[in-house]
Amino acid sequence: MRVYLDNAATTPIDPEVIKEMCKVMENTYGNPSSIHAQGREARTLIERSRKTVANLLGTSPSEIFFTSSGTEADNMAIRCGIIDHNIKHAITTRIEHHAVIHTFEALEKAGTIKLSFVNVDAKGNIDYDHLETLLKDNERSFVSIMHANNEIGTLSDMEKVGDLCETYNAIYHCDTVQTMGHYKHDLSKLKAHFVVCSAHKLHGPKGVGFLHINHRIKIKPLIYGGAQERNMRGGTENIYGVVGLAKALEMAYADMEQHQEHIQGLKTYMKNQLVESIPGIEFNGETDPDKSLYTVLNVSFPEMEMADMLLFNLDIAGISASGGSACSSGSDIGSHVLTAIGTNPSRPSVRFSFSKYTTKDEIDFTVAKVKELCLVNA
């Protein structure tokens, strides 16, 4: 038996998405920038997909810009938002994705910004009072706080962050890569200037995402070249990727409540089974279901021999998961997220992440194998 529990890294493509993409690959080969019939056909598919995405998110098609990934979208929002608006101060957290943290660090190293980190507690919750202090005590800021942490699953309050940013005239970027397609986002009401999606996190293809740019803010392109994406991103569009993204998001919205109930039930079941099976087990991140991403369960196991081999041994046992321990020294390459929230570095941690395809039998198999490994290495 082979069990895939690394859906926060990437999800299997839905067969219906593959069908839609294959139709495009087989039949639509024109360049969307060409004015002839084949080009117009390709352009129609892109704009139809853009309209689908916009309608699902309660926004205008003119605010959706397709990219190659969530990482590109994060870079575009941060770099262009800061440079084009002459922002000198940025605020983020130490538990953001590296696409965000490393971009800020590069800008700080270049002398473009001063970077501040808002405090988070031991579960990864944002200290909103500290955020307000940072906003109040500095010149106009660029704020980047993700909706759900990709390692521990803790959710931020997007409405609260948006209200604070509006009060202090800050630019708000929210990395929603882990929650797009898993929660409903009404971008007409959200006070964010930038929101990000990556298709492969919601059973779509790799190599395509989008950046939502609210009409209240204007930026210049990150990638220059042609006039694609209304002069905002040079490069011939990934037509079948864009179609796949739109189809995946459409399917996610159609069955969202059903999938959430299924996945949350499996997460709760696995959590309870692990507690019963392994004494001393702990969970990283927020445990309240209303404050935690339902697709992610991050587990700290008791100290054991060969702790650094746990993921490898799980893989050998037929279980695909990810994670790791916090950094125990300055030279370690551990999880920056677990280090930031103060997780015990001597305990191995594993992130199990679920999808609509995960089954109870797979959870039972995983718990049994994990218990076996813990007993052997105790």
Residues labelled catalytic: 327
The Cα 163–Cα 268 span in angstroms is: 32
| Tokens matching residue 118 | 């808002």
Rg (CA), the chain: 21
One-letter amino acid for residue 25 of the chain: M
How far, in Å, CA of 49 to CA of 176, rounded?
A: 19
CA atoms within 13 A on the CB side of 155: 18
Q: 3-class SS at 269?
A: helix
Between CA 185 and CA 53 the distance in angstroms is 11
Two structure tokens written together for 362: 């797979």
Characterise 31 by phi-psi region: left (phi > 0), alpha (psi -120 to 50), beta (else). Answer: beta
Dist CA 87 CA 90 (whole Å): 8
Question: Nearest to residue 239, comparing CAs of 33, 87, 85, 62?
Answer: 33
CB 61 within 8 A of CB 209: no
Q: Which residues contact 15 (CB under 8 A, 6 or more apart)?
A: none
Cα 48 to Cα 64: distance, rounded to the nearest angstrom: 12
Q: Which helix (H) or strand (E) holds 194?
A: strand 194-198
Which is nearest to 128 in space by CA: 104, 107, 159?
159
| Three-state DSSP state, 305 | coil
